[in-house]
Structure 1
Amino acid sequence: MGRVKFDARVRIGSGAYACATIILAAMALWLLAPRDISGAQLLASFLRWLPALLRGFTVNVGVSLGALALGTLIGLLVGALALLSGAAGRIARLWIQAFRNAPWLVLIFFTTYVFPFEFTIAGHVVPFPDWLKVIAALALPASANIAEVFRGAVQSIPSAQWDAASSLAMSRRQILVLIVLPQCARRMLPPWMNVYAIITMGTALSSLVGIHDVLDTAQIASTTVAHSSFTVLMYMSTLAMFFAYCYPVTLATRVFERRLHA
């Protein structure tokens, strides 16, 4: 019990140290930034653009949730196929290796230009928005990582459990659904949350294809106000939003990992 409390204190201390380091780095950048606008004007401009910045960040969150949901569905299917030994298994493993090592920016540009801007269905024109294309692009590496997580979780289950369940006349499907998958869900949760944090940070690339997210809003605000100190403040605020959103996810991941090991 004492060792667990000590480890918890060490992890909390390391988290506080990381927060303090980032705050000090932000303060250093702020002090080094040029002062070409008064403090009152800077604060007024920042408060005027803050609601738009927050609305832009909700776009990043929405894209990350959509990419994770689609990536999870595809990843579970690909991960299950990767456990097979035939042609389907080889294709699934190729999918995992290809999209785990593919540059995300290339995937975003690929889905943006390979898919049409609209579809014609039964005489009706249905638009295909850019944010949906970005979700599809980020779902590809998410699916590859989640497939590998699922495959590793299934293979981590001791073979003795399969043998014991088989001795009870359970079919392979019953063993997988009733015994293996519930254990895999617990083991997959920490890396699945880690994939989500990475996908969320990757949504900053969506501004390069015209998505009006938080980074695009910061760029518009910086161009509109046209002061170096305000530009620094905008990008520091953008960084703070990503950190404030992703860091709790990282802490929750560590909590689930500790519970899993316990």
Structure 2
Amino acid sequence: MAMTFDKTDLPVLKPFRMEGAPYDAFYHTRWLAGLRLRWVAVLMVLWPTAALAQSGMAMGEAFAALWRWMPFLVTQGFLFNIVISLFSMLIGTTLGVMLGLGQISRVGVVRKLAWFVTQLFRNSPWLVLLFIVLLALPYELNLFGQTVRIPAWMKAVFGLSLPVMANISEIVRGAVLSVPSGQWEAADSLGFTRRQILYEIILPQCFKRMIPPWMNWYAILTMATPLCSLLGVEEIITLSRQAMSAEDNQPELLVPFYGFALVLFFAYCYPIARLTIWLERRVSVKF
């Protein structure tokens, strides 16, 4: 028996469809690069003003304390954050390139092991990795009868380089696989070995494709360096706490000191974000 449905002019609630947005690896960089500098400047001025207006300490006194400590925070603190980010990026890039090439190896064991290491450190919280490295690595080593101490900042560099290594590995793998397969076949027909094809034909084309995401991850790494303060590394956040402690831990100092750290990181990372977007447009394939 055929089923019939009665027609009605009443409003009917249609089923809800939830469609996920496509993944964008440059989302945070685009957001940072898209900020209007004038609105950021207004916010950085009004936010400390509104916060200090609710406290008992005058704005002039709070910023006078910040002014006294500013050279110390920049030269001994923020520059150390940059040093940590540079060393972490150098180690992470070196290991990441080797790991990425391992993911496209013809040897199954090497390929699977490289994939496992990449996914392990790529999907692990950065703070957890830092604590594991802090507890796993010794504080000193005995080499040829000499005691060599391992400072906390070196452990922090190694801990931050692990997630960077995993993400650089994915960048290298994706860049190599993005080269049309016809180039592999053409080079193979000319008698090139796989090593020659990879290092003389494929990888030179991948450099310009890898630079924008590489810079994107460097900006993310730089903004993650304050996590090292939890390990006792004397970077800008740790020194800011020490400076506020020297000023009798006035709660009114929180906004000026941490706001100053925010300004430094923004001034350093914003040009990197803008340059990353420009390079991405420059090297993008035009159809």
TM > 0.5: yes
Structure 1 residues 212 and 192, CA, compared in 2 at 3 Å: closer, same or farther?
Answer: same
Question: For residues 100 and 230 of structure 1, do their structure 2 counterparts lie closer, same or farther at Cα, with a shift above 3 Å needed?
Answer: same
Which residue, out of 211, 228, 236, partners 1:206?
Answer: 228
1:43 pairs with one of 55, 63, 72: 63
Residue deviations 1:210-243, cap 9 Å, x none?
A: 1000011111122222333322100000011111
TM superposition shift of 1:169: 2.1
TM (norm. structure 2) is: 0.82
- 1:22 maps to 40
* Structure with bigger gyration radius: 2
Q: Extract unaligned runs of 5+ from structure 2.
A: 1-29
Alignment partner of 1:110 is 2:128: no
Alignment of structure 1 residues 90-101 onto 2, 5 Å = 90-101=112-123
Residues 39 and 28 (structure 1), Cα distance of their counterparts in 2 relative to 1, 3 Å cut: closer
Distance of 2:85 and 2:63 partners within structure 1: 30
TM-score normalised by L of structure 1 = 0.90
Which amino acid letter does the alignment assign opposite residue 172 of structure 1?
R
Match of 2:262 in 1: 239
Residue identity matched to 1:253: T
Distance 1:50 1:165 in 2: 58
Cα separation, partners in 2 of 1:18 and 1:101, compared to 1, 3 Å: farther
- The answer to whether the 8 A contact 2:49-2:59 is kept is no
Following superposition of structure 1 onto structure 2, how do residues 58-207 of structure 1 map, counting pairs within 5 Å? 58-85=79-106, 86-207=108-229
TM superposition shift of 1:127:
0.5
Contact 2:141–2:148 (CA under 8 A) maintained in structure 1: yes
CA RMSD between the two structures: 1.8
Q: Quick one: distance in 2 between partners of 1:147 and 1:15? A: 25
Q: State the one-letter code of the partner of 1:260.
A: V
Per the alignment, residue 258 of structure 1 pairs with 281
The 1:30–1:39 alpha-carbon spacing in structure 2 relative to 1, beyond 3 Å, is closer
How far off is 1:173 after superposition? 1.5
Aligned length: 250
Identity of aligned residues (%): 38
Q: Please say if residues 42 and 230 of structure 1, whose CA atoms lie closer than 8 Å, have aligned partners that are also in contact.
A: yes
SS where residue 211 of structure 1 aligns? coil
Which structure shows the bigger proportion of residues in helix conformation?
A: 1
* Deviation at residue 16 of structure 1 after TM alignment: 6.6
Q: Once structures 1 and 2 are overlaid, which stretch shifts more, 20-29 or 146-155?
A: 20-29
Q: Which runs of 5+ in 1 are unaligned?
A: 1-11
For residues 72-91 of structure 1, give each alpha carbon's deviation from its aligned partner in whole angstroms, at most 9, with x where no partner exists. Answer: 11101110111125011111
Kindly state the Cα deviation for residue 23 of structure 1 after the two structures are TM-superposed.
2.7
| Structure 1, 184-193 or 77-86: larger mean CA deviation | 77-86
Given that 1:33 and 1:228 are in contact with CA atoms closer than 8 Å, whether structure 2 keeps it comes out as: no
Q: Is the 8 A contact 2:96 2:167 kept in 1?
A: yes
Q: Amino acid of the residue matched to residue 148 of structure 1? A: E
